Amino acid sequence: MISGGRPQGAGQPLSYPITPASTFEHGSDRIYSRADATEAWDALEALLGGLERAEGLAFSSGMAAAGAVFDQLRVGAHVLLPDDCYHGVAHTAQDWATKGRLTFDRLPVDDTAAWVERMPRADLIWLESPTNPLLTVADLDMLCRAERKDGSLLAVDNTFLTPLRQQPLDLGADLTMQSTTKFIGGHSDLLGGSLATRDERLAERLRGSRTLLGTSPGALEVFLTLRGARTLALRLDAAETNAIALAERLADHAAVDTVRYPGIGSMISFDALDGDRAAATCDAIRVVRHATSLGGVESTMERRAGTPGQEHLPAGLIRLSVGCEALEDLWADLNEALSS
Ligand code: PLP
């Protein structure tokens, strides 16, 4: 793994500077910071790309990164999306469809045959695995090798597992996307996004979209993301160990119906007996924070059907992002809240 630290040099600081500059003195490639990276931004992209042996691109948010991919589509393009995926991406597809810019179909991510049948007619195949929030797993190996139309793009939102647990580019995906707001940043203190691709021309086009749309990352966010990313492996190991144990204990709890945990990563979704009990559990927790978002050192959970636009989900579904706290503190908190 790339260290994310500065190259060696006598008297040099070990970390990169925060450079709050919009413009640079003429005479080099750096001109204006909507387009041109600072030293820390370059280092972040080298780290993100290095994790996938690809070109990494940093954005101002996960949605900005996803938007750059949608921005590659010509008017009238056809998109395939999982029926369960991050709702912001689904809303983007719906919004663009309403404006006549594209058509789309949503398919269960684990219905491989349905995807394989439709992929030859799609311009963008947008996958997310495991899905948010139902944690359904796609057969990425099969889907990345399936027949597609020339010039189509296959992108995988890899936010939940990160490149440390899943490498879709190795399987044949054109692009991976992450909300670096989550595990890569890891401390719930920034918004960021990233794309990685091994296709240099595609990387150039995506960079062009970022410059035109102005979705470049800010100086403080670049610094914080770089700092967070340097401990990703440690945090993910700790959180995953906690998640494996909690998934087992939750499955045995009398107030829990179903536990959805794919056996990897640190996201768990579980169904409390009904919507009211799920809401009461979320109100009662103290160590786990009752908040949206995920991937931080602190555990967070929420009843997803209570989120606007997510009312179709099971009423009792709680999405839990397991953090790095002591396991027994987490379990005591969850057990008490579920039993209250
Ligand atoms: N993809 C997934 C799987 C997410 O969970 C999120 C945010 O929750 C996003 C994309 C969007 O990222 P951001 O909030 O950084 O724009």
How do residues 234-257 score in pLDDT, each as one tens digit?
Answer: 999 999 999 999 999 999 999 999
Q: Which fold has domain 232-339?
A: Aspartate Aminotransferase, domain 1 (3.90.1150)
63 touches ligand 1 (CB under 6 Å): yes
In CATH, the architecture of 39-229 is 3-Layer(aba) Sandwich (3.40)
Residue 242 near ligand 1, beta carbon < 6 Å: no
Ligand 1 atom closest to the Cα of residue 65 is 16
Give the nearest ligand 1 atom to 192 CA. 15
**Which of 181, 300, 302 has most ligand 1 atoms within 8 Å of CB, for mutation?**
181
- Evaluate whether 198 touches 153 at the Cβ level (below 8 Å): no
* Res 2: pLDDT: 53
pLDDT value, residue 1 = 45
Parts of the chain belonging to CATH 3.40.640.10: 39-229
Number of H helices, E strands in the chain: 12, 12
Q: What pTM, to 2 d.p., does this model score? A: 0.97
Residues of the chain predicted below pLDDT 70: 1-3
Ligand 1 pocket, 86 CB below 6 A? yes
Q: What is the pLDDT of residues 187-229, one digit of tens each?
A: 999 999 999 999 999 999 999 999 999 999 999 999 999 999 9
Domain with CATH 3.90.1150.10 in the chain: 232-339
Q: Residue length, the chain? A: 340
CA–CA separation, 109 vs 285, rounded Å?
32
